[in-house]
């Protein structure tokens, strides 16, 4: 009956089953145990203890940040408070603290000379060549204003006049280094439904009003002194206020929920975010412009233009939590065991003395024997038919080769 079925069908309907071959060899046995030991150590020390491979992790942190700057400073003999120097005022995760400004007061719409050295001229033709430039303080009209005795003049612009002259700049507001930033950060890990805040609710009012963050003495204090932050990132106050800059306050939540959630607290660290451009010749620092508008009695619109150099703070929240997840444990243990077998098989099949004998024992085809004896020995099982080939076979289907075990004789 079997002869009438096409061969590719019989080739397809086969069943492969694993067979254990016990190799009684000291060398392979020792290698096997050493490899198993190494793999177990690797899993315990690296995968479990260091990488927390047995845990399910949630990296999708949800975060809300609120910030508040406090401090009073003096700039150009004017006292500056929070409303003057913090932009924007909402107190989010990104805000700027202005350290110095170029103030151009009483601008109105009109025509006046440029102030930028790029727009110096002696004839109208030079200004005609600069028509449409984006770099001016207004639209270039194409006339060279040269109405005094000097040989060079400035191109005329149409726009807000007088034009800003940003070569005159006041002294930076020194008090910024004593300003404090209060950070309130609330996070949630949706996978485990864990909600935490960056300071314990047990902190009392009087403590919060007087503390300053310190990684050793006051790790839970959510108030950061600008001077301390600059010291942490090794930046001098002058170097950052000179041109402005960008600082990151990183809040990192890395929690192990196998312990009490009480121990889930953030770590803070600070970075100079624009460090890559610190020595850039093209663009250095950070500045921006804003204006305040008012109307005079005769109805003309005036504005005061501010070009501000500022330290921009970015509060960056990151983190992940882990919790014991048993399927990953089992999988890791399973892989561990399998790896030792694979390694020893490679040695046995390729580099060991009795490799050929081992190969013969390990890979066997029993198709012919089974089909020939199938008719009369069907219910005795394949163990019987194997016996013809393997005199040492036993009920467990386990074979032994190599070193003889005296107890089995």
User: Does 336 belong to an annotated binding site?
Assistant: no
Q: Is 123 in the site for ligand NAG (CB under 6 A)?
A: no
Considering only 134, 167, 201, 204, the residue that binds ligand NAG (CB under 6 A) is: 204
The answer to the question of whether 70 is labelled as a binding residue is yes
Closer to ligand NAG by CB, 43 or 270: give it: 270
350 makes contact with ligand NAG (CB under 6 A): no
With CB under 6 A, what is the number of residues at the site for ligand NAG?
15
Per rule CB under 6 A, is residue 206 in the interface with ligand NAG?
yes
Length of the chain: 409
Q: Work out the angle at residue 342's Cα, subtended by the Cα atoms of residues 339 and 347, and round it to the nearest 5 degrees.
A: 130
Question: Is position 68 annotated in a ligand binding site?
Answer: yes
Quick note: the x/- pattern for ligand NAG over 174-203, rule CB under 6 A, is: xx-xx--------------x----------
Nearest to 394 by CA among 404, 373, 408: 408
DSSP 8-state secondary structure symbol assigned to residue 218 = B
Cβ atoms < 10 Å from Cβ of 2: 7
Helix (H/G/I), strand (E/B), else coil: 309: strand
Work out which of 10, 267, 394, 404 binds ligand NAG, going by CB under 6 A: 394
For position 341 contacting ligand NAG by CB under 6 A, the verdict is no
Q: Which of 77, 134, 148, 295 binds ligand NAG (CB under 6 A)?
A: 148
Interaction of residue 106 with ligand NAG, rule CB under 6 A: yes
Phi-psi region of 234 (alpha: psi -120 to 50; beta: other; left: phi over 0): left
CB-based contact 208:184 (threshold 8 Å) = no
Cβ atoms of residues 399 and 362 within 8 Å: no
Nearest residue (CB) to ligand NAG, 43 versus 177: 177
- Of 177 and 246, which CB lies nearer to ligand NAG in the complex structure? 177
Residue 204 and residue 119: Cα distance in Å, rounded? 59
Tokens of 93: 């995760």
- Pick the stretch among 8-16, 122-130, 170-178, 361-369 that binds ligand NAG (CB under 6 A): 170-178
Task: Report in angstroms how near the CB of residue 204 gets to ligand NAG at its nearest.
Answer: 4
Q: Which of 101, 223, 229, 226 is nearest to 166 (CA)?
A: 101
Handedness of CA 376, 378, 384, 386 (dihedral sign): positive
Q: Is 289 annotated as a binding residue?
A: yes
Cβ distance to ligand NAG smaller for residue 20 or 106: 106
The answer to whether the beta carbons of residues 137 and 115 sit under 8 Å apart is: yes
Tell me whether residue 178 or residue 267 sits nearer to ligand NAG (CB atom). Answer: 178
Q: Is 75 annotated as a binding residue?
A: no
Instruction: Select the residue interacting with ligand NAG from 27, 76, 90, 108 (CB under 6 A).
Output: 108
Q: Phi/psi of residue 118, each to 5°? A: -65, -20
312 assigned binding-site residue? no
Of the candidate spans 1-9, 78-86, 204-212, 355-363, the one that interacts with ligand NAG by CB under 6 A turns out to be 204-212
CB-nearer residue toward ligand NAG: 93 or 104: 104
Locate tokens 């006049």: which residue? 161
Tell me: does residue 383 bind ligand NAG (CB under 6 A): no
Task: Please state the closest distance from residue 395 (CB atom) to ligand NAG, in A.
Answer: 6
CA dihedral 292, 293, 296, 300 (to 10 degrees): 140
- Per DSSP bridges, beta strands 94-113 and 86-87 are antiparallel
Distances (CA, A) of 409 to 44, 121, 270: 40, 111, 73
Q: Does 234 bind ligand NAG (CB under 6 A)?
A: yes
Q: Whose CA is closest to 312, among 97, 70, 90, 67?
A: 97
Among 149, 326, 350, 375, indicate the residue that binds ligand NAG (CB under 6 A).
149
- Identify whether 162 is preceded by a cis peptide bond (ω within 30 of 0): yes
Per-residue tokens: 69 = 């700057």
Q: Check whether 351 is labelled as a binding-site residue.
A: no
Residue 260 Cβ, how far from ligand NAG at the closest point, in Å? 14
Of 353, 355, 361, the closest CA to residue 386 belongs to: 361
Which residue positions form the known binding site for ATP? 68-70, 180, 287-289, 307
Which residue positions form the known binding site? 68-70, 180, 287-289, 307
Binding positions for ligand NAG, rule: CB under 6 A = 106, 108, 148-149, 174-175, 177-178, 193, 204, 206-207, 234, 394-395
């Amino acid at each position: 009956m079997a002869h009438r079925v096409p061969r590719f069908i019989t080739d397809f309907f086969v069943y492969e089953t694993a067979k254990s071959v016990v190799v009684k060899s000291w060398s392979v046995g020792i290698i096997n145990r050493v490899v198993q030991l190494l793999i177990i150590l690797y899993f315990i020390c690296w995968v479990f203890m260091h990488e927390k491979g047995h845990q399910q992790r949630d990296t999708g942190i949800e975060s809300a940040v609120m910030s508040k700057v406090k401090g009073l400073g003096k700039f150009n003999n004017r006292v500056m408070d929070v409303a003057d120097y913090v932009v924007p005022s909402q107190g989010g995760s990104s805000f700027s603290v202005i350290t110095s400004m170029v103030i151009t007061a009483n601008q109105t719409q009109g025509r006046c000379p440029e102030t930028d050295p790029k727009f110096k001229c002696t004839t109208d033709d030079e200004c005609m060549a600069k028509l449409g430039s984006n770099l001016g303080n207004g639209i270039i009209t194409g006339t060279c204003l040269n109405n005094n005795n000097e040989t060079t003049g400035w191109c005329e612009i149409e726009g807000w006049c007088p034009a800003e002259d940003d070569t005159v700049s006041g002294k930076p507001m020194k008090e910024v280094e004593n300003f404090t930033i209060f950070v309130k950060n609330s996070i949630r890990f949706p996978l485990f439904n864990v909600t935490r805040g960056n300071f314990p609710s047990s902190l009392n009012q009087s403590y919060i009003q007087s503390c300053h963050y310190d990684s050793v003495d006051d790790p839970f204090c959510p108030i950061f002194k600008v001077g301390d932050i600059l010291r942490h990132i090794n930046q001098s106050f002058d170097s950052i206020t000179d041109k402005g800059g960008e600082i990151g306050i990183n809040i990192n939540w890395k929690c192990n929920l196998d312990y009490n959630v009480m121990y889930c607290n953030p770590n803070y660290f600070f970075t100079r975010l624009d460090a890559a451009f610190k020595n850039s010749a093209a663009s250095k620092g950070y500045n921006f412009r804003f204006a305040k508008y008012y109307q005079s009695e005769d109805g003309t619109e005036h504005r005061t233009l501010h070009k501000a150099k500022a330290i921009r703070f970015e509060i960056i929240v990151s983190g992940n939590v882990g919790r014991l997840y048993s399927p990953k444990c089992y999988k890791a243990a399973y892989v561990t065991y399998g790896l030792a077998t694979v390694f020893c098989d490679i040695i046995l099949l390729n580099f060991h003395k009795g490799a050929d004998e081992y190969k013969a024992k390990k890979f066997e085809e029993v198709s012919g024997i089974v089909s020939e004896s199938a008719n009369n020995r069907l219910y005795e099982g394949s163990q019987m038919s194997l016996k013809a080939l393997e005199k040492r076979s036993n009920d467990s289907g386990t074979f032994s080769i190599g070193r003889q075990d005296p107890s089995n004789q």
